[in-house]
Amino acid sequence: MDVGVTSFFPWKRFVQILKAAGDDAFNTLWIGEDINGSVDVFVQALFALSSTRLNVGIGITSIYFHKLVNIARAAASLSEVSLNRFRLGIGVGSLKILSEMGIPIERPVSTMREAAFLLRKIWNEERTTFNGSSFVFNDYIPHYRPFSRIPLYFGVRGRKLLELAGEIADGVIISGPKTYIRKAIELFRSKSGGADKRIVVWLPTILIERKEDLDLAKEAVVVVLADTPQQVIRLSSISPEEAQVICRFYIQGDMKRAIELVSDEIMDEMLFYGSAQEICEAFTYLETLGVHEVVFGPPFGRKLESSIMEISKAWSKTN
CATH of domain 2-207+271-318: 3.20.20.30
How far is CA 197 from its chain centroid? 16
pTM summary value? 0.95
- CA within 13 Å, CB half, 81: 23
The domains of the chain are located at 2-207+271-318
Q: How far is the first Cα of the chain from the last one, in angstroms, to the nearest whole number?
A: 10
pLDDT tens for each residue of the chain, 319 residues long: 999 999 988 899 999 999 999 867 899 999 999 998 888 999 999 999 999 999 999 999 999 999 999 999 999 999 999 989 999 999 999 888 898 899 999 999 999 999 999 999 999 999 999 999 999 999 999 998 898 999 999 999 999 999 999 999 999 999 999 999 999 999 999 999 878 899 999 999 999 988 888 888 999 999 999 989 999 999 999 999 999 999 999 999 999 999 999 999 999 999 999 999 999 999 999 999 999 999 999 999 989 999 999 999 999 888 7
User: Taking CA 141 as the corner, what is the angle to CA 137 and CA 146, rounded to the nearest 5 degrees?
Assistant: 110
Distance (Å, rounded) from C-alpha 186 to C-alpha 285?
A: 16
Residues ≥6 apart with Cβ < 8 Å to 20: 304, 305, 308, 309, 312
